[in-house]
Amino acid sequence: MIVILRLERGSGTTLQRQVYVQIRDQILGGQLAQGAEIPASRVLAREYGISRNTVIQAYEWLLSEGYLETHPGARTLVSRNLPERSLNVGPIGNDLSRSAARVAPKTPIIFKSRPPKLPRYGASEAEIDFWPGRPNHRQFPLWALKQSIVECLVTPASALSDYGDPGGLLALREGIAGYLRAARGIRVDPDQIVVTSGVQEALNIVARMFIAPGAEVVVENPCYGSAALVFESYGARMVPVDVDEHGMDVSRLPGAKTALAYVTPSHQFPTGATLPLERRLKLIEWAHNTGAYLIEDDYDSDYRYAGPPLVALAGLDTSGSVIYVGTFSKSIGAGLRTGYMVVPRHLVETARDIKTLTSYGHPWIEQVALADFLRGGFQRHLRRIRRSYAEVRDVLISELVRAFGPQEIWGTENGMHIMWRLPAGLPPPNAFVERIRSYGVGVHTLASGGARDFGSRYADSTLLLGYSSLTKQQIISGVRAMARAAEDLASKGVAAIEDRPLGVPARLPRSAHDLAKAAVQR
């Protein structure tokens, strides 16, 4: 039997290893048949111009692993005792399609959910994309973070070498506690915080804590789609409660027991409505009366441009009913994958246990850098970003007014996107979005922007416009494309929206009003 080898010197793999691997693969691949005699080590060594010891070592390994067997007369044969199933089946791989006839059906996949596609920089087809909730990468505090990382990477590197606190680095939890107290009115002990891989992991932890198949979860209608997907993936049933211009209509909360209610009071996703104090307090009372927990997702509350500072539900609650989740994905960047959850004391142990069992804790580098940043430049960074986002938001609003006349725009007081209720005469959202995209501009319907709609009155008359990642010029060009797209569709006779389903007056921030007026006067 001839053994064909392709040996490379200086490849980083020793020659004996190459001999071993290649003969093994040929046995498993069937090129070297069972019982076939292989060349004596002396012969093979001469043939390939390698040392005999190299071949002997490789053969020894193959013998000890059972690929080869020796026979009287020092003959070496391919083992005849290898299980048949593992042989003659083509190249080594890990691919079901290459498999021989299947004996038993594989264990079925029980996971059913299908998560949404994530927005990625450079991955969008649109040159200008009004994707909601994406920070401006030009304003990423790279220099500060880099400084922090470099300073923290000192020997001995036990923090990188070992596991950390599964609940998160204490210094980071202290920084988060300080921020939450000052900015969100939440008095919290660092022990109540668990650092998570964004809001997403926090929602999974809550789901594992409470959701048995069939459990009921109250969500806003419309709501953040990914949250509904997480709960549903654990078998929950969604109980949607309608959202009006003041956020979730708490008078419609179910009377019967539900496990959880997932809410976005600061800047309702997707409508942008802000839940007033009275409703906040009623919501907490409802939770207290029914025993449900509230999950308060404060995803973009770092950006508040007008009005009084909002107190979080978690800052109002005194009954241990609120689980607060926040993230650095919006205030700094999603690539850090760092967020957190704040839980009532009686849930701390379980939340930490689940985090431990799920991932043994969060990576150290991001935590130490963020802890440093929270002590230092974070507030300044937020002030700068807030100013700049408010500016592009104003440009967006005034351009919309200039192009389409006075508009009903929701969610301008805070956050990173607005909801635009299309006025009568404009095309319906899906056709409009598609046409706008032909100009290289991405705008989003509730569904394409990441919301789940349970037959609300918004889906057929609104667009979501995220402005935070765009420059003023991009916004001006984007709105121009919207105007052109509307004209195109009107000239083609595409059916327009006829009635404005709601008569809520336009709600514009004063600065935007002034801009709009100026625009009209021009």
Residue 8 to residues 22, 185, 344, 518: CA-CA distances in angstroms?
Answer: 12, 66, 62, 74
Task: Say whether residue 334 binds a copy of itself (CB under 8 A).
Answer: yes
Q: Print the SS3 string covering 140-151.
A: CCHHHHHHHHHH
Residue/partner pairs of 116-119 with CB below 8 Å, 24 or more apart: 116/225, 116/226, 116/229, 116/450
Instruction: Please report, as residue ranges, which positions from 14 to 43 form the binding site for a copy of itself (by CB under 8 A).
Output: 17, 20-21, 24-25, 28
Q: How far is the CB of 460 from a copy of itself (least distance, A)?
A: 28
Contact region with a copy of itself (CB under 8 A), list: 43-51, 119-127, 412-420, 430-438: 119-127
442 vs 433: CA distance, rounded Å: 7
CB atoms within 10 A of CB 349: 10
Contact 79, 28 (CB under 8 A): no
By C-beta, is 336 or 422 nearer to a copy of itself? Answer: 336
Residue 237: exposure state from Cβ atoms within 10 A (0-12, 13-18, ≥19): middle
Name the amino acid, one letter, at 95.
D
Q: How many CA atoms lie within 13 A of 268 on its CB side?
A: 26
Find, among 132, 141, 394, the residue nearest to 264 by Cα: 132
293 touches a copy of itself (CB under 8 A): yes
* Site for a copy of itself, residues 62 to 101, rule: CB under 8 A: 62, 64-67, 81-83, 85-86, 89-100
| Site for a copy of itself contains 425 (CB under 8 A) | no
Distance between CA atoms of residues 196 and 198, nearest Å? 5
Q: Figure out which of the listed residues 356, 388, 448, 471 binds a copy of itself, where binding follows CB under 8 A.
A: 356
Q: Is residue 362 within the footprint of a copy of itself (CB under 8 A)?
A: yes
Shortest CB 86 distance to a copy of itself, Å: 5
- What's the closest the beta carbon of residue 283 comes to a copy of itself, in angstroms? 10
Q: Rounded to whole angstroms, how far apart are CA atoms 441 and 448?
A: 14
Give which of 342, 367, 361, 364 is closest to 160, Cα–Cα: 364
Give, as ranges, the residues between 149 and 168 that touch a copy of itself (CB under 8 A).
149-150, 153-166
Site for a copy of itself in 483-522 (CB under 8 A): none
CA distance 199 to 133: 13
226 touches a copy of itself (CB under 8 A): yes
Binding to a copy of itself by residue 318, rule CB under 8 A?
A: yes
Summary count for the chain: helices (H), strands (E): 16, 18
Residue of the chain from 7, 56, 238, 316 that contacts a copy of itself (CB under 8 A): 316
* CA 222 to the chain's CA centroid: 19
Q: Using the minimum distance from each CB to a copy of itself, give the nearer residue, 4 or 110.
A: 110
Residue 319 interacts with a copy of itself (CB under 8 A): yes or no: yes
Give the nearer residue to a copy of itself in terms of CB position, either 340 or 432: 340
- What's the rounded Cα separation, in Å, for the pair 169 and 229? 29
Interaction of residue 7 with a copy of itself, rule CB under 8 A: no
Q: Considering only 241-249, 291-299, 450-458, 484-492, which stretch makes contact with a copy of itself by CB under 8 A? A: 291-299
Total chain residues near a copy of itself (CB under 8 A): 152
370 binds a copy of itself (CB under 8 A): no
Which of 31, 34, 76, 358: binder of a copy of itself (CB under 8 A)?
358
Name the segment binding a copy of itself (CB under 8 A); options: 265-273, 346-354, 481-489, 513-521.
346-354
- Minimum CB separation from a copy of itself for residue 506, in Å? 19
Structure token digits, residue 224: 């953040």
- Cβ-based nearer residue to a copy of itself, 174 or 285: 285
Among 187, 384, 387, 517, binds a copy of itself (CB under 8 A): 187
Cite the beta strand spans of 148-256 per DSSP E: 193-196, 216-221, 223-224, 237-244, 247-248
Selected binder of a copy of itself within 76, 350, 448, 511 (CB under 8 A): 350
Residue list 431-490, contact with a copy of itself (CB under 8 A)? none
Pick the closest to residue 237 from 208, 216, 207, 211 (CA basis). 216
Residue type, 516: A
Length of the chain: 522
Residue 197 or 445: which CB sits closer to a copy of itself?
197
Other Cβ atoms less than 10 A from the Cβ of 154: the count is: 8
Q: Give Cβ neighbours of residue 252 (< 8 Å, ≥ 6 apart).
A: 241, 242
Instruction: For 394-509, list the strands marked E by DSSP.
Output: 408-410, 417-421, 441-442, 451-452, 462-466
Nearer to a copy of itself, 368 or 426 (CB): 368
9 Cα distance to chain centroid: 45
Taking the complex as a whole, the smallest distance from the CB of residue 315 to a copy of itself amounts, in Å, to: 6
Would you count residue 240 as binding a copy of itself (CB under 8 A)? no
Nearest-approach distance from CB 310 to a copy of itself, in angstroms? 8
276 binds a copy of itself (CB under 8 A): yes
Q: In the block, which residue shows the tokens 């994905």? A: 329
> Quick one: which of 361, 427, 449, 450 contacts a copy of itself (CB under 8 A)?
361
Residue of the chain from 26, 54, 78, 119 that contacts a copy of itself (CB under 8 A): 119
